[in-house]
């Protein structure tokens, strides 16, 4: 056990999984010699060589497409996409192929692939570096979608993602890469996908959030003056419906916060599901807090765009008025 940042936890998960299983490899732009632009793969090239920490040409579609081919041939590739908004050339490979390979071959070919990418804003990065697109991936059947918000979760969820039999989109809030440290076991452990976690128990209102909104949510809960049950979803697809319903049945109120644009965000799916399953347990309307329906702005406006603890706290208070 030692204190680690989220990026160190990811690096450790990759290294230990590569040690455990010779079929695991990492690939992408600058992941080899350079160790990745955020240093997620630091040291892997030196330890495992260029055939397992692979510097690819600058071609996202080929990175993901080749990773699908490797996965279908028995490897466990972990492909890195450098920045959140750089993934789109690979969307065709992800949506039309990675997600459907099992079905199209009726189980003959599978795609045990992880695509890692940073997500969300808050680090004053350049354009196309700060998007929160989890709802897009969650909309595609055949993909699993994971977003850790702590070093402990990052390691355990990445280990499990590598061991999953199906493709996983693993989104890492870049704001948390080095923002704080947490005790993380030195040995390997896996956290099952699809399990949310209660960060703080409460009785007035349930607050569901994930990824970059984890910290602002805890802050908002503290500032709201209400007894807030804070849930970190951790896996977006499949999401932990049971835990959310159980909490809402207890509190009778629900606020969902995500950094992604509000329209069509994953909060809409959660709200619809809770309205359907727990209508008569609700004491008031379900509220959502999200980014605005605008493209992620440049550095000077990102703090105006990203939901603040104040916005979330207001929603918590408003939910409790009902």
Partner 1 sequence: MVSKTAFEGKVEYWQVLDENGVADKKMEPKLSDAQLKAMYEHMVLCRLFDRKAVSLQRQGRMYTYAPMEGQEAAQVGAMHALGPDDVVFPTYRDHGTYLVRNAPIEQLFEYWMGFEEGLAMPQGVNVFPLSITVGNHLPMAAGMAWGMKLKKHAKLAMVCFGDGATSEGDFHEAFNFSSVHKTPLVLLCQNNHWAISVPLNKQMASQTVAQKALAYGAWGIQVDGNDVLAVYAAVKKARERALKGEGPTLVECLTYRMTMHTTADDPKKYRTDAEVEPWKKRDPLLRFEAYLSARKIFTPEYKQQVEQAAVQRIEAAVKTAEGFSAAPETMFDFVYEQKPWNLAEQRDAFLKGD
Report yes or no: 247 and 274 within 8 Å, Cβ to Cβ: no
Q: Of 45, 97, 129, 258, which residue is the catalytic one?
A: 129
Where in 157-273 does DSSP place strands (E)? Answer: 168-173, 181-184, 197-200, 205-209, 228-232, 235-237, 254-261
258 as an active site residue: the answer is: no
**186: how many CB neighbours lie within 10 A of its CB?**
11
Binding partner 1 (rule: CB under 8 A), the pick from 35, 77, 151, 267 is 35
- Of residues 129 through 158, those in contact with partner 1 by CB under 8 A are 129
**150: how many CB neighbours lie within 10 A of its CB?**
21
- Of residues 302 through 321, those in contact with partner 1 by CB under 8 A are 302, 304-305, 311, 314
Task: Name the residue nearer to partner 1 (CB basis): 128 or 241.
Answer: 128
Distance, in Å, from the CA atom of 107 to the CA atom of 144, rounded to the nearest integer, reads 17
x/- track of binding to partner 1 for residues 76-115 (CB under 8 A): ---------xx-xx--------------------------
If one asks whether residue 34 binds partner 1 (CB under 8 A), the answer comes out as yes
Distance, in Å, from the CA atom of 170 to the CA atom of 166, rounded to the nearest integer, reads 12
Q: In a 3-state reduction of DSSP, which class is residue 127?
A: coil
Going by the DSSP 8-state scheme, the letter that residue 113 receives in this structure is -
Binding partner 1 (rule: CB under 8 A), the pick from 55, 195, 223, 281 is 55
**Ramachandran angles phi, psi of 249, nearest 5°:** -65, -30
Report how many residues bind partner 1 under the rule CB under 8 A.
40
If one asks whether residue 47 binds partner 1 (CB under 8 A), the answer comes out as no
Instruction: Show which residues are catalytic.
Output: 129
Contact footprint for partner 1 (CB under 8 A): 29-30, 32-35, 37, 55, 57-62, 85-86, 88-89, 124-129, 262-263, 292-295, 297-302, 304-305, 311, 314
């Amino acid at each position: 056990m030692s204190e680690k940042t989220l990026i160190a936890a990811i690096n450790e998960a990759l290294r230990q999984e590569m040690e455990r299983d010779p079929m695991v490899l990492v690939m992408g732009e600058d992941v080899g010699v350079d160790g990745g632009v955020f240093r997620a793969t630091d040291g892997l090239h030196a330890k495992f060589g260029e055939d397992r920490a692979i510097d690819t040409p600058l071609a996202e579609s080929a990175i993901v497409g080749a990773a699908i081919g490797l996965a279908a041939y028995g490897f466990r590739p972990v492909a890195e996409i450098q920045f959140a908004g750089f993934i789109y050339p690979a969307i065709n490979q992800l949506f039309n192929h990675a997600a459907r390979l099992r079905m199209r071959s009726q189980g003959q070919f599978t795609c045990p692939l992880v695509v890692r990418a940073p997500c969300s804003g808050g680090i004053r990065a350049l354009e196309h570096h700060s998007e929160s697109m989890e709802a897009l991936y969650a909309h595609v059947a055949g993909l699993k979608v994971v977003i850790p918000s702590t070093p402990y979760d990052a390691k355990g969820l990445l280990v499990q993602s590598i061991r999953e039999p199906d493709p996983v989109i693993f989104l890492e809030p870049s704001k948390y890469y080095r923002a704080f440290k947490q005790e993380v076991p030195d040995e390997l452990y896996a956290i099952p996908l699809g399990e949310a976690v209660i960060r703080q128990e409460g009785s007035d209102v349930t607050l569901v959030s994930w990824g970059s909104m984890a910290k602002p949510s805890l802050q908002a809960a503290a500032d709201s003056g209400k007894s807030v049950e804070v849930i970190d979803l951790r896996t977006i697809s499949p999401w932990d419906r049971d835990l959310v319903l159980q909490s809402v049945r207890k509190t009778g109120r629900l606020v969902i916060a995500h950094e992604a644009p509000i329209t069509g965000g994953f909060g809409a799916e959660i709200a619809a599901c809770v309205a359907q399953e727990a209508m008569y347990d609700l004491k008031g309307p379900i509220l959502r807090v999200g980014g605005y329906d605008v493209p992620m702005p440049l550095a000077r406006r990102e703090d105006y765009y990203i939901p603040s603890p104040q916005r979330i706290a207001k929603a918590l208070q408003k939910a409790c008025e009902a």
